[in-house]
Structure 1
């Protein structure tokens, strides 16, 4: 039986390779029918913004990768409400749905539900 995997993405979309690597791991896990969830925390919530302008940084847009998650069976997507508020993002201005927004006190229970956790 496949072990469940939670990927915690804490980096802004173009602050390095971590954001893309987190998405790649999620897509690969989903392709092999691994139960995968993703939690966007801290600056990782910027990956969810619909107002990204990757061309200004000569980068590839991550939105297509985010939207591909569902096609690969990665449907459990979460964001930290405190991270969203601290960065001025509202849940209705995000490019990903469905997305479950969790309060800080709910994060521990989410992490406990998964057998393996990777933080990038």
Structure 2
């Protein structure tokens, strides 16, 4: 059986290549039917904020990649409650549904996966 992989994405979509790389890894793993979870933590929660205009910053829009996650079998999406609160975002206003986890649940989540990658 394939080992499960949790990808923790901590970077805002406009702060460099890390956000895109995290999504690329998730999509590639999903294409090979790996059990993948994706956790949006710290500034990574901004990837789920609607209404972004990345072209103003001469960046590529990640929304198409995010919307493709379920098509590639990546359906286990998580977001840190503390990160949302610190950045003034609400779970019901995100561009994709994600399970909101408190700090205790986050610690348990990392234990539930065989491998963890942080970008």
Question: If the TM-score is normalised by the length of the shorter chain, which range does it land in?
Answer: over 0.9
Moved over 6 A (4+): none
The equivalent residue for 1:29 is: 29
**Residue 107 (structure 1) aligned with residue 106 (structure 2):** yes
Q: Which digits, 9 at most, give the CA deviation of each residue in 1:78-98, with x for residues without a partner?
A: 00000000001011111012x
Structure 2 Cα separation of the partners of residues 15 and 95 of structure 1 = 19
What CA RMSD, in Å, does the superposition of the two structures yield over aligned residues? 0.6
The equivalent residue for 1:45 is: 45
Structure 2 Cα separation of the partners of residues 8 and 77 of structure 1 = 10
Structure 2 Cα separation of the partners of residues 52 and 79 of structure 1 = 18
Residue 59 of structure 1: how far off its partner (Å):
1.4
Residue 51 of structure 1: how far off its partner (Å):
2.3
> Which consecutive residues of structure 1, in runs of 5 or more, have no partner in the other structure?
none
Which secondary structure does the structure 1 equivalent of 2:69 belong to? helix
Which secondary structure does the structure 1 equivalent of 2:116 belong to? strand
Residue 101 of structure 1: how far off its partner (Å):
0.4
The equivalent residue for 2:82 is: 82
Residue 56 of structure 1: how far off its partner (Å):
0.7
TM-score, normalising length from structure 1? 0.97
Number of aligned residues: 119
Structure 2 Cα separation of the partners of residues 43 and 51 of structure 1 = 16
Structure 1 Cα separation of the partners of residues 90 and 50 of structure 2 = 11
Structure 1 Cα separation of the partners of residues 54 and 94 of structure 2 = 16
TM-score, normalising length from structure 2? 0.98
